[in-house]
Amino acid sequence: MSVQIQRRPSDSSLPLVDRILHGRGLTRDALAYSLNGLADFSSLKDIEKAAQLLADAIEQKKRILIVGDFDVDGATSTALAVDCLQKMGATWVHYLVPNRFEYGYGLSTPIVDLAQKEYQPDLLVTVDNGISSFEGVARAKELGMQVLVTDHHLAGDGLPSADAIVNPNQPNCKFPSKNACGCAVIFYVCCALRRHLIQQGTPQENLPNMAGYLDLVSLATVADVVPLDDNNRILVEQGLRRIRKGVARPGIQSLLKVAKKNQSQLTSKDFGFALGPRLNAAGRMDDMSIGIDCLLAQDPDRAYSIAQTLDELNQDRKLVEGGMQQEALTQLNKLPLDDIQAANSLCLFQADWHQGVIGLLASRLKEKFYRPVIVFAPADEAAVGEDQEVKGSGRSIPGFHLRDALDLVAKRLPHVLSKFGGHAMAAGLSIKKKHIEEFKNVFEEVASGLLTEDLLVNVLMTDGAPSPQDYNVNMARELRFVAPWGQNFPEPLFDAQFDVANFRLIGADKNHLKLTLQDPVSHHVYDAILFNIDRFNLERSDIEANKLKHVHVVFEMDVNEFRGNENLQLMIRHLVRI
């Protein structure tokens, strides 16, 4: 993988925090993150129609069924919709989340038939899905259901025939934050419903305070890796503040407990690396209803018991993912390195891979080789033969819109690729096993036509080097809480050259590198750590032969807490011997 370190333009005369904000086009004045700064949800197309549908369903005591998705965004969206509608007076609200292994994603015809058989709903509400569910919506209408679609995924050439569709990414929607996650969309719909009910005479004190759902919205926004635009940063920061104050729902507090996270010190990174994976593990390894039950639990003991189950599922997920990663690298190691570097994409399949983890595997391989990656696994472990369905999960790099690329493949191979969807950076698809090689070849052709050499260079954009006086615990802690860092609003990343005063390999597999780095000018020394040296093409033999003398590192500043003591630790994201 080719890596290039670039420094973000900024005013070097400013104090470090102001310099970091300046490099992102902000000043400290932008850090209030008041709820008054949120975009007006009234500009969402069809939102008043959606509020009317829900208000009528509540008044007429209709049976409302929420159809969700099996990731964090889907789970939080489902929990928010169920809890909020119940608190707004709905007498019958249930949810149904398609099991990944039986039904796949979205409001499919089989899911509608299952909904009719099990629940006989009057109103079917999708959350975090539905914008491409033409057949499912048509089937629901055929069965006499009303359908409200709430989604955030990109719309295709047309729209399903739902009674109302709320999606900032549908044509002619003027809502300014196109980066809203699915949970944020149903949050806005419920805000509109609350306003509608008040206008119709419901006392305000009989309705829930919508700020009480920001713990869910903030978690979903970060975990779904949507860009943190101005609107999303407000949602995330407000959710973080509530959780830090201890007013989050029992499920989120329990997830923090099993993850051994101090809620008063919670950051947006913890959503992505601690809470998100544990919730996602339910959908990946078992059934997302476990995660939803955790988020809906009112009793803290019950919430904690479910959170423990989620933690165990996450441990299982790590084991499965680790094994698949080794198998994938074994496959790739059989190819000449020149062949991998010459390719513009990677597509891998193995008959015993777990479909719940292929997205994570694709993400790991994308990080290692910096190319669009699609990983396939059998849709049904019991199926055999070339006609069996396989499911693919893809991850991309900036500049290569994965869903649009799959659309190009579908136009060239209409007999192969009939079902796909997603975003610029992530997408899913289903094909038959016999078509994998054909797909792989055409996907590589599409990638070759769209990718340039520049796009295949992983550019690490940093905030330059801190001044010697900025290397301290107080600065590291301040940077942690300045803003809700995340997608398209990156956490401060620095680069500098150091002499290596000391180092050693640590961990059970000796796969992590602990270093003592010395600034060649100030001669100050700092603790540093680099996790998973295999990702950085560092050879153990070079390390053990003491070839680390001088290094150029890209790093974050962090606070290491051990036995009650705190010290500054540099978390290395990239290391080059010089």
* 186 closest CA partner among 340, 55, 329, 79: 79
For 338-366, the pLDDT digits (tens) are 777 789 999 999 999 999 899 999 998 99
Quick one: pLDDT band at residue 510, thresholds 50, 70, 90? confident
Residue 69: which residues within 8 A CB-CB, separation 6 or more?
75, 77, 78, 97, 98, 105, 106, 127, 128, 129, 182, 288
Q: What percent of the chain has pLDDT over 70?
A: 98
Asked if 185 and 168 count as a contact pair (C-beta separation under 8 A), the reply is yes
Check whether 368 has a pLDDT greater than 90: no
- 305: which residues sit within 8 A by CB, 6+ positions away? none
Confidence class for position 110, pLDDT limits 50, 70, 90: very high
Report, in this order, helix, strand and coil percent for the chain, each rounded to 5.
45, 20, 35
Euclidean distance between CA atoms 84 and 29, whole angstroms: 33
pLDDT of residue 474: 96
Q: Are 392 and 376 in contact (CB under 8 A)?
A: yes
Domains of the chain with bracketed CATH: 2-30+459-577 (2.40.50.460), 32-245 (3.90.1640.30), 249-318 (no CATH), 335-451 (3.10.310.30)
pLDDT bin (cut points 50, 70, 90) of residue 535 is confident
Mean pLDDT on 445-470: 95
162 pLDDT tier (thresholds 50, 70, 90): very high
Q: 378 Cβ partners below 8 Å, 6+ apart?
A: 351, 353, 355, 388, 389, 390, 391, 433
> Is the pLDDT assigned to residue 537 strictly greater than 70?
no
DSSP H helices, 25-164, are: 47-59, 72-87, 109-118, 134-142
pLDDT, average across residues 304-319: 96
For residues 272 and 452, what is the distance between their CA atoms, to the nearest angstrom? 30
Distance separating alpha carbons of residues 444 and 148, to the nearest angstrom: 38
Please give the average per-residue pLDDT across 209-237, as a whole number. 96
Judge contact between 530 and 515, C-beta under 8 A: yes
Q: What does the block give as tokens for 506?
A: 């640590």
Indicate the pLDDT class of residue 561, thresholds 50, 70 and 90. confident
Contact 236, 268 (CB under 8 A): yes
DSSP line for 402-444: HHHHHHHHHHH-TTT--EEEE-SSEEEEEEEGGGHHHHHHHHH
Separation in Å, CA 164 to CA 58, 78, 148, 247, 350: 16, 18, 5, 34, 41
557 torsion bin: left (phi>0), alpha (psi -120 to 50), beta (else): beta
DSSP H helices in 451-522: 473-481
Instruction: Return the pLDDT at 336.
Output: 80
Residue 333's pLDDT band (boundaries 50, 70, 90)?
A: confident
**pLDDT mean over 222-250:** 96
